[in-house]
Structure 1
Amino acid sequence: MRKALVAALMLTLAACSSPAATTTASGAPAELRIGYQLIPNGDLIVKDQKWLEEALPDTKITWTKFDSGGDVNTAMVAGSIDIGLAGSSPVTRGLSAPLNIKYKVPWIFDVIGENEALVARTATTVAELKGKKIATPFSSTAHYSLLAALQDGGLAETDVTIVDLEPPDIQAAWARGDIEAAYVWTPVLGELQKSGKTLITSKDLAAKGKVTADLAVVRTEFADAYPKALQTWLVQQDRAVKLVRGDKQAAAAAVGRQLNLNSAEASRQIDQLILLDGKEQQAAQYLGGGLADNLHSAAQFLFGQKKLDAVPAPEVFKQALAVKELAGAFAG
């Protein structure tokens, strides 16, 4: 019901608002609407430092917080954001029927590692979760990883009760004792780990072939209309990764301000992710082609789990990689 209400609200807002893709005298978009999440990667640094506001002075930069990639997909369908952050599983769904969202992937915010995990209250193995209630945000990378973790632990989805909760609601349900376990990401993950036991992380699952990542998605219409603005956005994201590598203290302070964490904890959470700069993003295993294979593999897995009606052709995912846009931003 909550998801349906969110979808209805987004569609209403899109219908009532004027399109953001209007142009200033300088040829820049009049507004750039960004959907972000509270994940300790370079996007929070760009937001905190107001680099986009400086680089695009004629453009209004609007940041809207989302709790999961599923809600970012809803906003994309509604046309209420231009660029957003969504996990690889939501992007797989977004590029598949029935959504078939017209967006591209120009950037990998991070390859997910220990910052997403399955935490239990009393169970010490995945197998011990049989018959228990587990929370995760549906249509997220955490949901995908939970299904993979259950399969790896010898359990079917029907062996447990999976409930759809966003991260803040998961933390509240955990505090009330309503759930036995949850697959979720930081910063809520860190709160659960204070009293629970980590059974498996997304880093563990990646080693078993179930790789997940946080991806940028940009509306194809926006990317085609404003290639220079997209390139500017990409350059700022690269700048953030380089800040993490060159001045970890400053990067951690920026992320900490956005997550309301001290710098030491922010630094620890940043280290749980794999961040890639612009040159590395273009490598064969990433936007050079490997990411498309990963998304297709995720679609096959989700189809096997009856979470997709059909598996799109590999070409669908290859065409969704904004390879030329990324290369153009770092051609100099």
Structure 2
Amino acid sequence: MSLSKRLFPFFLPRRLAAIGLSLTLVSAGLAVPETAHAEGRIRIAEQFGIVYLLLNVVRDQQLIEKYGKAQGLDIEVDWTQLSGGSAVNDALLSGSIDIAGAGTGPLFTIWDRTYGRQNVKGVASLGNFPYYLVSNNPKVKTIADFTEKDRIAVPAVSVSIQSRFLQYAAAKQWGDKEYARLDKYTIAVPHPDATAALVAGGTELTAHFSNPPFQNQALENPNVHVVLNSYDLFGPNSPTVLFSTEKFRDENPKTFQAFIDALNEAAQFAQSNKAAAADTYIRVTGAKIDRAKLLKILENDQIEFTTVPKNTYPLADFLYRVGAIKHKPASWQDYFFEQAKAVPGS
């Protein structure tokens, strides 16, 4: 039985949704580009997992609206959820969204491709989180143990932060020329579906480069184990960020600043009150996760909620070195807007 048929129960609904999104984006791309809307509206795309918890807090407490009113502005906020950096990048470039939430991998890709044109840059970090590559194949102890019989789930093949982490690990293992060696084993599957398939077993999907809380839920199964921790590659780092176009930032300065202020308040709230943050995540996302288990994840010392980007540059430097991006950033400040440069990031 083929892989697609055996994974049918797990991710067909979202795959169909993704197809619908792709058709929409193609249509948008063929149409006349959307004109910039006036101050007072912002459209935000998030993905799956507690790495987007700051956005959950912003939404739950209506913080953008709060800071907009402080400037005499009534801001309309639209929220959407996508899966994978490719879909998020397409949505941003088509004019369907204003703020993109994705990994630093997709940020580097779109920053490079829009350099000197739309000038997409980072807005803020969403925090520091370890990402685990997990597997239910007992023979896979390290990345060197993957074979043609294995398939590794990632949000987006090649460009997602999980894919970029895997490429970085492959380069450390076999050299820069072999950085894409494991790409042929990766398939694009949303985190919830990949977790369900991995835990259930019985398919060619034997690994998942995940994020919290999905990696923690998978590890509750005794047949699932950690193959790689992203912190082993870079140390603590900001894998997930928010980014936007220069046009949106310049034409909507009050709305943009309200968004920044909202994020900063959300970060202080989440970092200082993990219990309330857990309640917010469950309430906003509707996640079916035990509150005590979620709180344990949030209280992990390796997780920090902050808008300050940390340790992002090593991956950017690597991607330039292997030719995945054409422009070499001199520092992390090259791919973040000025608002982020006021803080001691990296």
* 1:208-261, Cα deviation, whole Å (9 max, x unpaired): xx9552111022111001112111111111111111233222122112223423
Q: Which residue of 2 aligns with 1:93?
A: 109
How many residues are paired up? 304
Match for residue 253 of structure 1 among 270, 275, 279: 279
**Alignment partner for residue 68 of structure 2, among 56, 63, 85?**
56
**In structure 2, C-alpha distance between the alignment counterparts of 1:232 and 1:98, rounded to whole Å:** 25
List gaps (5 residues or longer) in structure 2.
1-14
Map 1:1-332 onto structure 2 (within 5 A): 6-13=21-28, 19=34, 21-23=36-38, 28-29=39-40, 31-40=41-50, 41-56=53-68, 58-97=74-113, 102-113=119-130, 116-121=131-136, 122=138, 123-131=140-148, 132-137=150-155, 138=157, 139-154=159-174, 157-158=180-181, 161-174=185-198, 175=200, 176-195=202-221, 196-207=224-235, 211=237, 213-259=239-285, 260=287, 261-270=289-298, 271=300, 272-276=302-306, 281=308, 286=309, 291=312, 293-294=313-314, 296-300=316-320, 303=323, 308=324, 310-314=325-329, 318-324=333-339, 327=342
For residues 56 and 269 of structure 1, the distance between their equivalents in structure 2, rounded to whole angstroms, comes to 33
CA displacement at 1:147 relative to structure 2: 2.1
Give 2:9's aligned residue.
none
RMSD: 3.3
Shift of residue 112, structure 1, vs aligned partner: 3.0
In 2, the alpha carbon distance for the partners of 1:302 and 1:166 equals: 27
> Deviation at 1:32?
0.9
User: Any idea what the Cα deviations from partners look like across 1:6-36, whole Å, max 9, x if unmatched?
Assistant: 444224246679947433xxxx32x210111
Q: Distance in 1 between matches of 2:48 and 2:32?
A: 26
Contact in 2 for aligned 1:107/1:326 (Cα 8 Å): no
Q: 1:189 to 1:320 in 2, by over 3 A?
A: same
Q: Pick closer, same or farther for the CA change 1:240–1:151 going to 2, 3 Å.
A: same
Q: 3-state SS of the aligned residue for 1:275?
A: coil
Contact 1:20–1:33 under 8 Å retained in 2: no
Letter in 1 for 2:54: G
Specify the code of the residue in structure 1 equivalent to 2:303.
L
The structural deviation recorded for 1:76 is 0.8
Q: Say if 1:231 and 1:325, in contact at 8 Å, map to a contact too.
A: no
CA spacing shift, 1:324–1:124, aligned 2, 3 Å: closer
2:126/2:240 contact within 8 Å kept: yes
Would the alpha carbon gap of residues 320 and 162 (structure 1) be closer, same or farther in structure 2, given more than 3 Å must change? closer
Distance in 1, Cα, partners of 2:114 & 2:68: 35
TM-score by length of 2: 0.75
Does the CA-based 8 Å contact 1:33-1:81 persist in structure 2? yes
Question: Do the aligned partners of residues 298 and 186 (structure 1) sit closer, same or farther apart at CA in structure 2, a change above 3 Å counting?
Answer: same
**Mean Cα displacement is larger for which, 72-81 or 256-265?**
256-265
Distance 1:311 1:22, change over 3 A: closer
Q: TM-score, normalised by structure 1?
A: 0.78
For residue 323 of structure 1, what is the amino acid of its counterpart? Answer: E
Q: Is the 8 A contact 1:76 1:101 kept in 2?
A: no
- Name structure 1 gaps, 5 residues minimum: none
- Alpha-carbon spacing, 1:214–1:120, altered in 2? closer, same or farther (3 Å): same
